[in-house]
Chains A and B, each alone.
Chain A
């Protein structure tokens, strides 16, 4: 059974700092890895999707990397802003199976 772990569970950083969120998964035979953002009381917004054949994806200040063989992904956020404060979720799927989620990292960026 696939299990996804996100460390740390919570993180507080000053504005402007670069930061890394970590995601690990137990079964390396994944099809996709997807990073989401969730604001309090809201739905999930897709940030980045990495297919198993890819090593990284970038969108603006966000960069996600994937090391499938070691079962790890990182989400790098450059020059953090208070508006980046949210919970970040990592999820993976294998073939036709639905996404399996980690419990998220709650990020606070302090002005």
Chain B
């Protein structure tokens, strides 16, 4: 019963390097999300995908790009990493249709990223 799986769990990047964080869910959810968590700031939404084929910006999208590869997978790309992107990144998914009732969100275990 995997739920939401994120890879990698830890990563250290040098300033200017690029990388892609991977996320996959096995619950057949239509919506997926990327959040970052910083001390004192709580969880903030970076990007989300309400359904396959759509993506929308969240509160803090600058410096990031996303791809909804298929219904299961939603990746987050840092094109040129900066120290300000040092954070813990969480992927989440939910079944979210207006009028559909329960829309519980489930989270992955996180990716701890350090940019030096």
Number of interface residues of B (CB under 8 A): 26
In the complex, A91 Cα to B33 Cα: how many Å? 14
In the complex, A75 Cα to B50 Cα: how many Å? 29
- Inter-subunit contact A98/B48 (CB<8 Å): yes
- Inter-subunit contact A93/B42 (CB<8 Å): no
- Inter-subunit contact B98/A44 (CB<8 Å): no
**CB proximity of A30 to chain B, nearest CB, Å:** 11
Residues of A with C-beta under 8 A to B96 = 93, 96
- Inter-subunit contact B104/A44 (CB<8 Å): no
- Inter-subunit contact A46/B103 (CB<8 Å): no
Residues of B with C-beta under 8 A to A31 = 103
Instruction: Determine whether B64 belongs to the interface, using a CB cutoff of 8 Å to chain A.
Output: no
Instruction: Determine whether A23 belongs to the interface, using a CB cutoff of 8 Å to chain B.
Output: no
A53-110 at interface with B (beta carbon < 8 Å) = 89, 91, 93, 95-96, 98-104
Contacts A46-B105, A98-B33, A103-B41 aside, 4 further interface pairs with beta carbons under 8 A come to A32-B103, A49-B103, A101-B43, A103-B42
